[in-house]
Structure 1
Amino acid sequence: MSVDTLREEQAIRRATDHLVQVFAGTHPAEQVESAVETIHRRFDGHPVRDFVPILVERIVRQELVEANRAVETEEPPEFAGDLHPEVTADPIPAVTAKTTSNAIGDISDTGRSRSPEVAEPARTRSARVRGKGFLALIVVAVAVVAAVVVVVNTGQEETPPPPPLATVRGVIGSEKKAFFEDPRVQKALADKGVKVEVDPAGSRQIATSIDLGKYDFAFPSSAPAGDRIQRQRHGSAKYTPFSSPMAIATFQPIADLLKKAGVVKQGPVLTFDFSRYLELVTTDVQWDQLTGNTVYPVRKNILVSTTDPRTSNSAAMYLAIAGYVANNGTIVHGAAAEKTVLPLVSQLFTSQGYTDNTSEGPFKEYLTVGMGPTPMVWIYEAQFVDAATRGQLKPGMVLMYPSPTVLSKHTLVPFNASGDRVGHLLSTDPELQRLAAEHGFRSGDAAQFAKVAADHDVRVATDLIDVVETPSYDTLEHLLDGVAKSYG
């Protein structure tokens, strides 16, 4: 495919996406796409291509507007058939050597210029073009062809301007901020006619306290939060473009120390035995009490640093695992089970002191300050892989997977057609899926994620086996409310 042909195809795709957005309330996307394809085919064989995308968009727009007007006035549209005029003639009148000889002249074997041949075979010349709107566009087409003749004659190139971008606003979990701020992501969305503006927030905040009325979509980091938002907004659609298991960012000396304590096990990846960890927490074992501890001999409790459970989804995922282990390997459900596990899970949070509202805070401290204040940080796997691709990891920083873990399913809930388009693009567009993998997210293409991790020397779990489901949203809310009360 030549550069010019590729440029035209890209312009046609942008025009199609724009028309789908403009007429979303009156015509299904399939009908708009069919109209564009039909009109585009009428220009097959014409050597002057620069303005074909503009003409196609104008003709289709005129047809759709006429169809809408006909519906509003209860009159049949001027164009018969499936939104298209019954035209067998060339959509651009023939520009003969006679009509353009003054501007261009004839082409000879010696390389002199003559008029571009834009007419279809003569057998179609007698067909009549019906529809006033279409005739008006033909007049415009003639003027455009004349302009193209001048451009060709002077050796200049003219690139049609892209259609305006549709701005779509969303509120997202903070761990996806870097993805949406990536210029490559913004360009991939712009190529589809979309400009996405986002505000980051804690996922629990998104589901409980954020005013969603000013947004086109919400994109929290968990399925329970997404389900609650969907129920609140009475939505019928949701997307899960990518996911990320919960993990623990730590340092090799800390991992080696915890191996001796029976908390960490070495395999293809480092695993963190949550049951053994809870034993140390409930017996108030401190770091300087661990046998042979010369790397971190501090007098404070052995705790994983998390976010604030009152606002953040990652803390809710931590609570889900802790509750499962404390409930004898069973998902917490019902008032009795909630009452049983609440004292322990509350201790895991209140013993930490101050915690950030979003996962961005503690992980940033881990990257910049080191293991002094945060020897173990509860994170999304995606954050660690993303930091590796950015060159932010320092020697000795390692990733551990809790056993069991939970899978954070990033769930996009659209509130209108614009939000739905973003969800569809993130879920299906190959370029956006590839970029999601570069930001550490797992998508439908497992090989892409594995390649990114291998390219940046990050050991990740290839097969997520020891994964448990989270409790229902209501159960999580009961537990989180109980933890919040324990803060006093």
Structure 2
Amino acid sequence: MKRRLSIALAVLLLIAVVVVVVIDRDDSTPAASGETQQVRGVIGSEKVAFFRDRRVVDAFARHGVRVEVDSAGSRQIATTVDLAKYDFVFPSSSPAAQKIQRDRKITTAYTPFQSPMAVATFEPIVNLLSANGVVRQGGLDVGKYLDLARTGVRWDQLPGNTVFPARKNVLVTTTDPRDSNSAAMYLAITSFVANGNNVVSTEDAENRLLPELTKLFLDQGYTEGSTDGPFGDYLATGMGRTPMVLIYESQYLDRLIRGDGSIRPDMRMLYLSPTVYSKHTLVPLTPKGDQIGQLLTTDPELAKLAATFGFRTNDPRTFNEVVAEHKLPVPADLVDVVDPPTFETLERLLDAIGKQYR
């Protein structure tokens, strides 16, 4: 009897030890210890600041993920970047994302935010172009602008120009069309207008428009590979060097929201009329990448943070709340918006223009 009692006590003690061990192991799970799962992506450069912001990092960590990103141009992501080591791609244009989907037979994609193309300029330039019929109702009339660019009109040749008599062509400063998504979006807008307000969809139209479209880029001289370059010049050097700079709306709003004084009282943002939306489209390559797409699309905290970087969110109410909170001078909706050509059409145009640089 005593032996049976001793065995029973030993069994009870063993069970107690197992329970303690199990509890201890539960305390060391990733959720309890703060461990996170690493997810890797390649993204457009204009989103790097968002992904590396401490608030964004912490928001992802609360969902058990740590997102590490590399940056590349949208064209590069779609054509030359080795995607084998990534869980998701996040180019800045829907045509690039659609090419990746087609090439990899992926049906899922997320567009958590987007940004229309705009022009950063200055109040004297706005007044001068308004007097010459190029700016109307707060927007840069692309048709009127192309009329000036087509004939090589200089700033000092504009009637009544006493504020900016520069001896250089009236041109919007863009990025390099061989590298940059923003330059591709500019090409999408200008090709649409030059094509009689129709999306370019045939090779005949491409060949007919190429000389005029090429001139818009080559006449600028040197161009940089990222919008951060010309926008930085705009902020630092003022009207003399860069009277009009192509930007993403989000870049300008980001600076206004920061309130760091980089947007001075004489600076203005004009929307192109028409414009296009640069749609930041995430394509998941693995289940982990799909989780990032879902979080960016559905998590209210991440959406609010994206809006504070100037991005127009999937749910417009989030963006509008940030606009109202910071009293940003932007419309809730843009009406004069067109679609870009297909990726293949844009690629042919960009490649043809790029060859003229050599």
- TM score, norm. by length of structure 2: 0.90
* Deviation of the 1:201 alpha carbon: 1.9
- Amino acid paired to 1:333: S
* Deviation of the 1:200 alpha carbon: 1.9
* Deviation of the 1:407 alpha carbon: 1.1
Equivalent residue runs for 1:186-335 within 5 Å: 186-266=57-137, 270-335=138-203
Partner Cα separation in structure 2 for residue 187 and residue 486 of structure 1: 46
**Match of residue 345 from structure 2:** 475
Equivalent residue runs for 1:91-102 within 5 Å: none
Unaligned runs of 5+ in 1: 1-133, 148-159
Aligned residue among 342, 355, 369 for 2:210: 342
Cα RMSD (Å): 2.0
* Deviation of the 1:173 alpha carbon: 0.8
Partner Cα separation in structure 1 for residue 162 and residue 324 of structure 2: 32
2:290 equivalent to 1:420: yes
Bigger mean CA offset, 207-216 vs 189-198:
207-216
* Deviation of the 1:429 alpha carbon: 0.4
* Deviation of the 1:381 alpha carbon: 0.8
Partner Cα separation in structure 2 for residue 209 and residue 328 of structure 1: 33
**Match of residue 9 from structure 2:** none
**Match of residue 456 from structure 1:** 326
Bigger mean CA offset, 363-372 vs 170-179:
363-372
Deviations 1:75-102 (A, max 9, x none): xxxxxxxxxxxxxxxxxxxxxxxxxxxx
Q: 1:140 to 1:454 in 2, by over 3 A?
A: same
SS at match of 1:169: strand
Partner Cα separation in structure 2 for residue 144 and residue 316 of structure 1: 54
2:221 equivalent to 1:363: no
**Match of residue 393 from structure 1:** 263
**Match of residue 34 from structure 1:** none
- Amino acid paired to 2:48: K
2:173–2:244 contact (8 Å) kept in structure 1 = yes
SS at match of 2:313: coil
Partner Cα separation in structure 1 for residue 128 and residue 23 of structure 2: 79
How many residue pairs get aligned? The number is 339
**Match of residue 10 from structure 2:** none
- Amino acid paired to 1:476: L
**Match of residue 53 from structure 1:** none
Deviations 1:228-255 (A, max 9, x none): 1222333232111111111111111111
Q: 1:248 to 1:136 in 2, by over 3 A?
A: farther
Partner Cα separation in structure 2 for residue 178 and residue 363 of structure 1: 15
* Deviation of the 1:420 alpha carbon: 1.0
Unaligned runs of 5+ in 2: 1-14
Equivalent residue runs for 1:168-187 within 5 Å: 168-187=39-58
* Deviation of the 1:261 alpha carbon: 1.1
| Bigger radius of gyration | 1
Deviations 1:374-425 (A, max 9, x none): 1111111111111111223122111111111111110111111111111111
* Deviation of the 1:271 alpha carbon: 0.6
Moved >4 Å (runs of 4+): 134-137, 141-145
- Amino acid paired to 1:240: T
* Deviation of the 1:198 alpha carbon: 1.1
What percentage of residue pairs aligned between the two structures are identical? 55
Partner Cα separation in structure 2 for residue 142 and residue 299 of structure 1: 77
- TM score, norm. by length of structure 1: 0.67
SS at match of 2:272: strand
* Deviation of the 1:455 alpha carbon: 3.3
Partner Cα separation in structure 2 for residue 380 and residue 353 of structure 1: 21
**Match of residue 138 from structure 1:** 19
1:216–1:418 contact (8 Å) kept in structure 2 = yes
Q: 1:141 to 1:418 in 2, by over 3 A?
A: closer
2:320 equivalent to 1:439: no
Partner Cα separation in structure 2 for residue 430 and residue 289 of structure 1: 51
* Deviation of the 1:289 alpha carbon: 0.9
Partner Cα separation in structure 1 for residue 17 and residue 176 of structure 2: 63
Deviations 1:319-339 (A, max 9, x none): 011111110011101111111
Partner Cα separation in structure 1 for residue 92 and residue 356 of structure 2: 25
Partner Cα separation in structure 2 for residue 311 and residue 245 of structure 1: 19
Bigger mean CA offset, 295-304 vs 195-204:
195-204
SS at match of 1:213: coil
1:327–1:340 contact (8 Å) kept in structure 2 = no
Partner Cα separation in structure 2 for residue 185 and residue 373 of structure 1: 35
SS at match of 2:55: helix
